[in-house]
Structure 1
Amino acid sequence: MKSTFRRVALIGKYQTSQATTAATDSSRQAIDAIVRFLDGMDCEVVLEVETAANTGVTGPVVLDVDAIGAQCDLGLVVGGDGTMLGVGRRLASYGTPLVGINQGRLGFITDIPLEGFEATLTPMLAGEYEEDLRPLMHARVMRGSECVFEALALNDVVVNRGSTSGMVELRVEVDGHFVSNQRADGLIVASPTGSTAYSLSAGGPMLHPSIPGWVLVPIAPHTLSNRPIVLSDATEVAVEVVGGRDISANFDMQSLASVLHGDRILVRRSEHSVRFLHPRGWNYFATLRKKLRWNEGGS
């Protein structure tokens, strides 16, 4: 069977210099196996430059992420949800579809187990798949009229205190309308994708990916009546830092900016979305059941 995707890029979890030999060998074996499989599907295989450098795999053409977006028909991301978050943000503007292969436990957005991946990927590469678009969040840190930091996020934007400091004081507005002053450990602005991440552990609701909304979730609020609220993602959320020490704004917990009193973090929907491809028959609720272990012990 031939693939309908001519040029396929492989992007793996980056191993640091502190990574164990066993972890590096495992990553190399996984990449090698997928390269052989793609060759058999008559695909032209491309390796992302850091993946090639950190696994030592040779043979395929090597490109950086931006070149992959411009030149490849599909990206296979091997790792976990954290790996996919970083890749998804980088490739969203190119519209490159992504498939997640999970090396460890099942992920929410890397949902194909490495073991037995061939049986799942074969029909997908032949065109039998479900497409799932996830909008990005575009966030800016404004200091007066100047933008001092800008980032995209797929999961969430989090404004929170340092590990040794007290509560933060935040003023929250939606589309210019005052919502509340909050004293808490922080505040999460989460997308439906991010509603099953930090937001969920802080007491926020899970949002189905098809809902065009966000959820604002206070982290350990001083006032217990300060509860999560679901908003339309067509709005702009502004979070102004009023008080507190060692405050930062985090974007998918992978980019960070230190913020000062008076800074405003503005969050709006990006014009770009990440394109995920899932196996035919995939549905969100099956993922929730597996990931959250619903119905364990039931009949």
Structure 2
Amino acid sequence: HIQDPASQRLTWNKPPKSVLVIKKIRDASLLQPFKELCVYLTEENNMIVYVEKKVLEDPAIANDENFGPVKKKFCTFREDYDDISNQIDFIICLGGDGTLLYASSLFQGSVPPVMAFHLGSLGFLTPFNFENFQSQVTQVIEGNAALVLRSRLKVKVVKEHREKMTVQNGIEENGVVSANLEKEVGKQIMQYQVLNEVVVDRGPSSYLSNVDVFLNGQLITTVQGDGVIVSTPTGSTAYAAAAGASMIHPNVPAIMITPICPHSLSFRPIVVPAGVELKIMLSPDARNTAWVSFDGRKRQEICHGDSISITTSCYPLPSICFRDPVSDWFESLAECLHWNVRKKQNNFAGEEEE
């Protein structure tokens, strides 16, 4: 029996009490929706609202006296400093697809259900409109919603210890070393949970990138080109789609391997089972280093002897649907990517039938 994707439903063991609100930073158009949502959550539903500290540092929020009483009820946190993973019942995102990727990065283990409102430039992963947010949030709180479990990639980067290490991009955006960084004898290990894709590219070098790709320990190919994208089905409509990959529904258990401008006429994108382990390393013949990024963040250099191991994570991101997983996906294909838009062919009107 094959499970119907539309059968996945949100169910609460107990009524949700705490919600994390993620707002796109430096976007004035989101201030009013953010305030309306927070007032509704705190005063109408008596919920504990978590927001990132830098959101409240926005002068338009900090200097709003009318919003002061609501703001005092917030719980705040700082990325890479405070662990809120066990304190959140569900997440509400206000912005574009980037807010959902950011929400994913905050939870390196289990992720609470995410409700994403389309208030950004691209809304492929954000199916909700904000106009009637009260009724939609109420339905989620009552557990009346469909879910799609978006698989993530578990990525382990192992770097050979070097006396002189490049620190410019090996340090987090806020200037501190990652909390999920371990050290072994002669090795440095970092782990990431990735929702869209891992991108390995040639960085600033003018040479081809030259990286080996292993599947379950066996060398399957060497990528000679601008790089390679390893993506989830969710990421198949992002960078991978621009590089010529197929678009895969998020309910399909798979990992996609897509070359970026390969210097080969026969290197087509491939799809492999979700259960495999991929490993990417610089080829021994590589003339230069490579660079890697994870959902567009944490960019760092990969040198000879370093490795990137990629498997499907056991912690997917539960994304709350507007209608159901299939309808929402095709709606996004049509609205955001204008999939298969073409003028209709005319029939042979006026000709006599034979």
Scaled to the shorter chain, the TM-score interval is: 0.7 to 0.9
Matches within 5 A, 1:102-251: 102-143=118-159, 146-242=187-283, 243-251=286-294
Select the structure of larger CA radius of gyration. 2
What secondary structure is seen at the aligned counterpart in 2 of 1:129? coil
Select between 194-203 and 161-170 the one with higher mean Cα deviation: 161-170
- CA deviations on 1:40-72 (whole Å, 9 max, x unpaired) are 542314131332233436233223275543223
Cα RMSD of the aligned pairs, angstroms, is 2.4
Q: Quote the offset at 1:76 in angstroms.
A: 0.7
Q: Quote the offset at 1:287 in angstroms.
A: 2.0
Q: Give me the TM-score of the superposition, normalised by structure 1.
A: 0.87
- What residue identity is the alignment partner of 1:10? V
Identity of aligned residues (%): 28
Whether the aligned pair in 2 keeps the contact of 1:99 and 1:277 (CA below 8 Å) is yes
Q: Which structure 2 segments of 5+ residues have no match? A: 1-13, 161-185, 345-354
Alignment partner for residue 50 of structure 1, among 42, 49, 54?
54
Q: Which structure 1 segments of 5+ residues have no match? A: 16-22
Q: Quote the offset at 1:249 in angstroms.
A: 0.8
Q: Give me the TM-score of the superposition, normalised by structure 2.
A: 0.74
Q: Which structure features the higher share of strand residues?
A: 1
- CA deviations on 1:84-135 (whole Å, 9 max, x unpaired) are 1121232362431111112124522222123343343332333221111112
Q: Quote the offset at 1:155 in angstroms.
A: 0.5
Select between 208-217 and 73-82 the one with higher mean Cα deviation: 73-82
Select between 54-63 and 220-229 the one with higher mean Cα deviation: 54-63
Select between 203-212 and 87-96 the one with higher mean Cα deviation: 87-96
Displacement over 6 Å in runs of 4+: none
Whether the aligned pair in 2 keeps the contact of 1:136 and 1:153 (CA below 8 Å) is yes
Q: How many residues align?
A: 289
Alignment partner for residue 27 of structure 1, among 21, 27, 30?
30
Give the Cα–Cα distance (whole angstroms) in 1 for the partners of residues 110 and 271 of structure 2: 29
What secondary structure is seen at the aligned counterpart in 1 of 2:151? strand
Whether the aligned pair in 2 keeps the contact of 1:136 and 1:152 (CA below 8 Å) is yes
Give the Cα–Cα distance (whole angstroms) in 1 for the partners of residues 137 and 287 of structure 2: 50
Q: Quote the offset at 1:75 in angstroms.
A: 1.2
